[in-house]
Amino acid sequence: MNADTWQDSHSREYKQFRSFMGLKFGTRSKRLSLSWRRKCAVILLSGMICQMIYFFRMKHQRYLYKADTYFLPCEMPVLDPYDSIQMKNMKISKPFKCDLLHSPIYVDDENLLQFNRTVVQLFHLNPESITCTCQIIQRKVNTDKKVVYSDTFLCTPPYNIQSDFFKISCVSGEAELINTMLTNIFRPEKAFSTHTEEHYSVILFGIDSMSRNDAIRQIPRVVRYLQEELPSIDMSMYNRIGGHTFDNIIPMLTGLLANVKDIPYLNKVGTRFEILPFIWKNFSRNHYATFYAEDEKRWHTFNFRKEGFKVQPTDHYMRPFWIADYQSRPTKLLFWNKSKNSYNKRKCLSHIPEYLVQMNYLKQFINKYKDVRKFGVSHLNSLSHRNVNNLHLAEEDLIFFF
């Protein structure tokens, strides 16, 4: 075979091979050129994105919260509380319309039912003409869903109330002055340890469904008071780990996750929570006075679609009060979502809003055990659970409380 014949044969085979590989003469250079241009564009774009990320991380660290964990650094964005999208959802709620301006009756620090002399004089009342009757409210044994009432008895002030909760009705002649329920801290007969420099009292005060940014928007003066007047610590990276109150409170109070892996019987009918290692048990074993309060009978963290506690979990436990309050409401107020007027009344208990009733109960607990070690959890549900825009209505009371 001569050189020309071999070259023609080789050329034919090469053409067949390239045809088999999907390449054709005349288009190869164009396709390769287009492919390389695409690759170069992708590489260039990727480089620009990496450069932007690097620039953002190096030049804008002030917009990130950072904390080193055991394995990897954790970073969270600093969100603007006054972002325009969020501000569209912020509205000014109307104040709750409670029935009375002031109560003529109150409970002092010594468990004594007393006349509010200022109110009695304001309404030109003669204390000797006022008659009051009471009923003690107690938790029914072995259930978290029912209460029992004592027989009615005379309790005209001054009177020593030996219970945390009671109903009271006072009249002057034929005029009814008050018909409501009141709280009190009746100290049980058990030994509690006194304060020392090595042992702190602990009070957890929570407001449901309120984020850090909600607080900055809704109650800015409270936030400033905590930051400037009290030695507070802003836990800026504290975050929820579940979608519901229960999912977040269980880990906080027990160290367990709210799932069937950590709590195998969680989804079983009749689940009760006595056996969980709640942190108040630790304090109780160390002779602390203990306290748990959460408003809202229906949406209670441990009772919504659950059985709650068979045995009262803490020395002072507010659920019986809210059950009695719910039972005492007229039917039209029980279904408060039917109208705006009943909604406003549903948020009040006589002369004050519900959230303030619970805050006062916590203050009574703190005052009653002034020189004693104490652990308490007060969790406000009704104020903001359905509408965070109600928070600003409590700003003055929160500042006064703190």
The rounded radius of gyration (Å) of the Cα atoms in the chain is 33
What is d(CA 61, CA 45) in angstroms, rounded to the nearest whole number? 24
299 close to 381: Cβ distance less than 8 angstroms: yes
Counting as low any pLDDT under 70, the low residues of the chain are 1-36, 39, 42, 47, 50-73, 99-101, 268-271, 330-346
Query: Cα 92 vs. chain centroid, distance in angstroms?
Result: 21
Residue for token digits 């009733």?
Answer: 357
pLDDT tens for each residue of 43-87:
777 767 766 655 455 444 455 556 665 666 677 788 888 988 888
313 close to 147: Cβ distance less than 8 angstroms: no
Q: To which H or E segment does residue 339 belong?
A: none
Q: How far is CA 180 from CA 133, 318, 325, in A?
A: 11, 16, 9
Burial class (CB in 10 A: 0-12, 13-18, 19+), 242: middle
Q: What is the pLDDT of residue 317?
A: 97
Q: What is the pLDDT of residue 297?
A: 73
Burial class (CB in 10 A: 0-12, 13-18, 19+), 397: middle
User: Among 351, 396, 296, which residue's Cα sits nearest to residue 96?
Assistant: 351
396 close to 225: Cβ distance less than 8 angstroms: no
Q: What is the pLDDT of residue 259?
A: 86
User: Among 87, 86, 117, 93, which residue's Cα sits nearest to residue 103?
Assistant: 117
What is d(CA 110, CA 181) in angstroms, rounded to the nearest whole number? 18
Q: Is the peptide bond before 330 cis (omega within 30 degrees of 0)?
A: no
DSSP state of 199: B
Return the amino acid letter for 16.
Q
Return the amino acid letter for 299.
W
**Where would I find the beta strands (DSSP E) of 44-101?**
64-68, 73-77
pLDDT tens for each residue of 339-396:
444 444 567 887 788 899 999 999 999 999 998 999 999 999 888 877 888 899 999 9
What is d(CA 270, CA 264) in angstroms, rounded to the nearest whole number? 13
Query: Cα 186 vs. chain centroid, distance in angstroms?
Result: 27
User: Among 208, 241, 185, which residue's Cα sits nearest to residue 378?
Assistant: 208
3 state SS of 236 = coil
Q: What is the pLDDT of residue 225?
A: 96
State percent of the chain over pLDDT 90: 38
Query: Cα 337 vs. chain centroid, distance in angstroms?
Result: 22
* Cross-strand partners of 292: 317, 377
Sign of CA dihedral 87, 88, 90, 95: positive
Q: What is the largest CA-CA distance in the chain?
A: 139
92 close to 387: Cβ distance less than 8 angstroms: no
The mean pLDDT of the chain is: 81
pLDDT tens for each residue of 322-346:
999 988 876 443 333 444 444 445 6
Q: To which H or E segment does residue 52 belong?
A: helix 28-59
